[in-house]
Amino acid sequence: MSTKKHIKNGTLVTPEGIFSGDVLTDGSTIAAVGEVGPESTAEVIDATGCYVLPGGVDVHTHLNLKLGDRQVSDGFYAGCVAAAWGGTTTIIDHPEAGPAGCNLHHQPEYYRGLLEKESVIDYGIHGVFQHVDEAILAEIPSLVQQGYSSAKVYMTYGNMLVPGEVQRVLEAMKNAGGLAAFHAEDDAEISRLRAEFAENGHLAPIYHAKSRPDYTEADSIKIIADLAAKTGATVYIVHLSTGKGLDVIREAKKSGVKIIAETCPQYLLLDDSCYEKTDGLKYIMAPPLREKGNGEALWAGLADGSISVVATDHCSFSYADKKKFWQGDFRKAPGGSPSVETRLPLLFSEGVLKGRLSLQRFVDLVSANPAKIMGIYPQKGVLQPGADADLIIWDPAAEKIISPESLHQLCDYGPFDGMNVKGWPRKTMLRGTIIVENDRFIGKKGSGQFLQRAPFKDETLCSSDHHGGKR
The pLDDT score that the predictor gives to residue 193 is: 98
Mutual angle of helices 163-176 and 214-231, in 10-degree steps: 50
- 90 in the same domain as 34: no
Average pLDDT for residues 83-91, to the nearest whole number?
Answer: 98
- Whether residues 59 and 49 share a domain: the answer is no
The answer on pLDDT for 469 being more than 60 is no
Overall number of domains in the chain: 2
What's the pLDDT at 3?
87
* pLDDT the model gives residue 378: 97
Alpha helices (H) in 132-281, listed in sequence order? 134-145, 163-176, 187-199, 206-210, 214-231, 243-254, 265-269
* Residue 277 resides in a domain: yes
**Does residue 49 sit in the same domain as residue 192?**
no
With contact defined as beta carbons under 8 Å apart, do 231 and 170 qualify? Answer: yes
Q: Which residues have CB under 8 Å from 190's CB, separation 6+?
A: 156, 211, 212, 216
Alpha-carbon Rg for the chain, nearest whole angstrom, is 21
pLDDT in tens, 88-133: 999 999 999 999 999 999 999 999 999 999 999 999 999 999 999 9
388 with 375, same domain: the answer is no
Is 460 inside any structural domain?
Answer: no
| Residue 14 confidence (pLDDT) above 90 | no
| Res 39: pLDDT | 75
**Res. 467: pLDDT tops 70:** no
Is 406 within the bounds of a domain?
no
Is 467 a member of any domain? no
Sheet holding 235-240, edge to edge: 127-128, 150-154, 179-183, 235-240, 259-263, 309-310
- Taking alpha carbons only, the member of 223, 242, 79, 57 closest to residue 153 is 223
For residues 113 and 155, state if they share a domain.
yes
User: Does residue 414 lie within any of the structural domains?
Assistant: no
Q: Are residues 24 and 77 in the same domain?
A: no
Per DSSP, the chain holds a count of helices (H) and strands (E) of 14, 20
Q: Is 465 inside a domain boundary?
A: no
The mean per-residue pLDDT over the stretch 275-286 comes to: 98
Residue 38 clears pLDDT 90, i.e. is over it: no
Across the range 430-441, mean pLDDT stands at 96
Q: What is the pLDDT of residues 126-180, one digit of tens each?
A: 999 999 999 999 999 999 999 999 999 999 999 999 999 999 999 999 999 999 9
Q: What is the secondary structure of 299-333 as a DSSP string? A: HHHHHHTS--EE---B----HHHHHHHHTT-GGGS
SS3 199: helix
| Average pLDDT value for the chain | 95
- pLDDT-derived band at 366 (thresholds 50, 70, 90) equals very high
Q: Which of 376, 404, 457 lies closest to 73 in space, CA to CA? A: 404
CB neighbour list of residue 113: distance below 8 Å, 6 or more residues apart: none
Cβ contact 178:154 at 8 Å: no
Strand partners, 67: 70
Q: 120: closest CA among 95, 154, 89?
A: 89
How do residues 173-230 score in pLDDT, each as one tens digit?
999 999 999 999 999 999 999 999 999 999 999 999 999 999 999 999 999 999 999 9
Query: Which CATH number does the domain housing residue 14 bear?
Result: 2.30.40.10
* Helix ranges restricted to H, 273-416: 294-304, 319-326, 343-347, 359-363, 369-373
Average pLDDT of the residues in 393-405: 97
- Residue 408: which pLDDT band, with cuts at 50, 70 and 90? very high
Confidence (pLDDT) at 458: 84
pLDDT at site 463:
43
Q: What distance in Å separates the CA atoms of residue 138 and residue 44, rounded to the nearest whole number? A: 52
3-state secondary structure of 2: coil
Q: How far is CA 323 from CA 237, 277, 289, in A?
A: 30, 14, 19
Same domain, yes or no, for 357 and 389?
A: no
Same domain, 283 and 428: no
375, 30 Cβ separation under 8 angstroms: no
Specify the pLDDT at position 1.
57
Instruction: Tell me if the pTM is above 0.95.
Output: yes
Answer yes or no: do 141 and 223 share one domain.
yes
Residues 36 and 161 in one domain: no
pLDDT at 465: 57
Q: Which residue, among 377, 369, 378, has the nearest Cα to 347 in the 3D structure?
A: 369
Same domain flag for 429 and 372: no
Strand partners of residue 81: none
Residue 418 lies in a domain: no
State how far Cα 184 lies from the chain centre: 16
Task: Note down the domain range covering 137.
Answer: 55-380
CATH number of the domain residue 270 falls in: 3.20.20.140
Find out whether 311 and 58 touch, Cβ atoms under 8 Å.
Answer: yes
Residue 461 has a pLDDT of 63
Q: How far is residue 51 from each of residues 169, 273, 349, measured CA to CA in Å?
A: 42, 35, 14
211 with 197: CB under 8 angstroms?
yes
Average pLDDT over residues 408-427: 97
Tell me if 447 is assigned to some domain: no
| Same domain, residue pair 143 and 155 | yes
